[in-house]
Chain A
Amino acid sequence: MASISTTAAPKRRTFGELLSSDLRALPVVIALIALWIFFSTQSDIFLTPRNLSNLLQQSTVVGIMALGLMFVLLVKEIDLSIAAIHGVTSVLSAKLIVDYGFSPWLALPAAILIGAAIGSCSARWVNWVGVPSFVVTLGLGLALNGIQLLLLPATARYGLMGTGVEYIAQTTIDGMGAWMTWLIGVALLASLILSGVARRRRAGLEVSTLHGVVLPIAGAGVLGAIVVLVLNANQGIPLPVLIFVSLLGIGGYVLNETQFGLYLYAVGNNDEAARRAGIRVPLIRMAAFAIAGGIAAVAGIVASSRTLGVGVFSGGGVGGGTLLLESIAAAVIGGVSLFGGRGAIHAALLGALVIGTVQNGLNLMGVENEVRLIVTGLLLVLAVSIDKIIEKLTGQQSF
């Protein structure tokens, strides 16, 4: 009835609604803080810059894997072959470098492309034959495990020391360089936010300066500064961490700003609606799997650089081992829904940090591996349960 202005006041939202949108990260952030408080009371070493740098570095491989997997989870599929892709592509690139004398500049990008190609093949199978992705990628993963073993030499290992690949894990950006990196990151974020705000203003739309501009930029700036301070107190920003953060930035842009990102969410929530809207659903699915495969290969490169070689163990060993399980767990614990269409980019970071923290903290306490698996498993179940409860609270079904 009332005359409508273009700045109609937004309705107050319920806490449940906020939990499902803006505050979706709250449970996992609380869990992370609780874990950090707990471990800092259990070990004096936990909060040292050296240990925190380690923790961050340990979290990158799983974090990168989770980041890629997220694209597949968003379209309501799953890729159980990402660990095998990680393994086989890293062994393949090592073979190209060691046996055939390829430059890493050629072999590593090739590994990423092959990873993406493998991912797109599983999507094709899912799209055309209609076999659930769960089965296709489970079988494909085992097949890739076999190929990985075939590619390995009689020694079952390729050493990468002296090939140049080792520099990825060993390179750090310290001192002023680290702060320059921080500055560039904050500037990029600020320019993105400010240009968005300027567009909204030009269009005559309301913008909240505090919530839309000041808080995100200041928040990211302060958080980034703390991380840089801690890392600089050790050896600086490790290159793998920078790779992970860059991927997070690009991923966040794609998911939040682009048409492709929106279509991932649309397909994951209601693929029939997406199809009727003219979205080429099979293509979107294929892109999601290709991204997960390509990014799994990136994680494989980082991992092989850290371990200075590849072998049977690459990609978590046969069946994907804990690497596969922790990658899925990280995405889900971070807040990516297994039921499709929900999850923000920071999920990969938060989830990987939770898993990295549990591993690192329990290690410091001298607790055995078994406990780590139990704790991670319980956290996973807890995270999925929270997801379901939020769904109920807000009445948002994922049909």
Chain B
Amino acid sequence: MTATDSGGLENKSLPQKSVPLVSMRNIQKSFGSVHALRGASVDVYPGEIVALVGDNGAGKSTLVKVMAGVHAADSGDFEIDSKPANIRTPADATAHGIATVYQDLALCNNLDAVQNLFLGRELTGSSLFGRRIRRAECEVRAREVMTRMRLGNLSLTRPVGAMSGGQRQNIAIARSILWTPKVVILDEPTAALSHSAAQQVADLIRGLADDGLGIVIVSHDIHHFVVNATDRIEVMRLGANAASFRSKDVTGEMVVNAMVGGNEGVNLAG
């Protein structure tokens, strides 16, 4: 371990060329007595991949869940396209163009890829016994998206529970971009994947950013994924931001130091 404390060094805001798609400032969130977010902030810019890193319990998942509408923040500023946004449910977030790929993927194992892709937003027509799913149209749309993602050879009709981890991850990502969002959030997209599958996911995500999407990724894979496949790194500690880096300027060690640095008892009490 190198003993350099880089905690405060890169804590300056980085210059940006455009306005953020999403800007969250000073977010507070408690679960009962657990103060999970203590003034956390993050901005998401078009075409940029921002990584959220931090120790277990730092509040990364909670922050992205607030962005995704899964949890409502207790307080803080939440702006989308520079306008205050009131996001309190996942549907609100989706309506504002924020799509999420959850760590647990949130797929229904008993349903096939098409059904999972459209879940909650099926194309329907009316019938005597309720909304009838327009399966053929869903399937055509699903194929288009999968082909665009170079996943055209994935079966659309097998239950996704019977597929590999990488395939399921890809389906979850395909699902997030089906409705052409502006921002895609991915929580630990490579955690359960082999090295080659993780590389595929990284390529896929870079493709999305190149299309102008803003990407937020939570990841523990600092040394490979975070420093190589992202543009900006936000380090979180104890529910707040500890440091900010450009990915091309740092090494994995520097990021890890910022993650663990300065965690004396004094900070824990704050």
Contact = CB atoms under 8 A, between A and B. Distances in A.
Query: For the side of the interface on A, what is the size category?
Result: 35 or more
A266 B161 contact: no
A204 to B, nearest CB: 7
Contacts of B120: 274, 277-279
Nearest to B160: A396
Given A17-B158, A278-B90, A253 B129 contact: yes
A338 B152 CA distance: 35
B21 to A, nearest CB: 21
Contact of A21 (B102, B119, B159): B159
Interface of B is mostly: loop
Contacts of A202: 136
B132 interface: yes
Interface stretch (B107-115, B198-206, B207-215, B254-262): B107-115
Contacts of B94: 278
B159 to A, nearest CB: 6
Contact of B132 (A204, A257, A397): A257
Contact of A270 (B108, B133, B137): B108
B250 interface: no
Nearest to A342: B110
A277 B69 CA distance: 11
Interface stretch (A4-12, A86-94, A363-371, A378-386): A4-12
Contacts of A253: 127, 129
A70 to B, nearest CB: 15
A172 to B, nearest CB: 27
B122 interface: yes
Given A10-B157, A204-B140, A262 B110 contact: no
Nearest to B119: A277
B151 to A, nearest CB: 9
Given A257-B127, A257-B132, A276-B106, A396 B140 contact: no
Interface in A194-210: 196, 199-200, 202-205
A155 interface: no
A296 to B, nearest CB: 19
A18 to B, nearest CB: 11
B75 interface: no
A143 B232 CA distance: 62
B251 interface: no
A167 interface: no
B223 interface: no
9 contacts: A196-B135, A205-B136, A257-B127, A257-B132, A260-B130, A266-B111, A270-B106, A276-B100, A396-B161
Given A258-B129, A278-B94, 14 more contacts: A199-B136, A203-B136, A257-B132, A258-B127, A259-B122, A260-B130, A261-B130, A262-B115, A262-B133, A266-B108, A269-B109, A272-B104, A278-B90, A341-B108
Closest 7 CB pairs of A and B: A4-B152, A277-B120, A396-B161, A273-B106, A278-B120, A203-B136, A259-B131
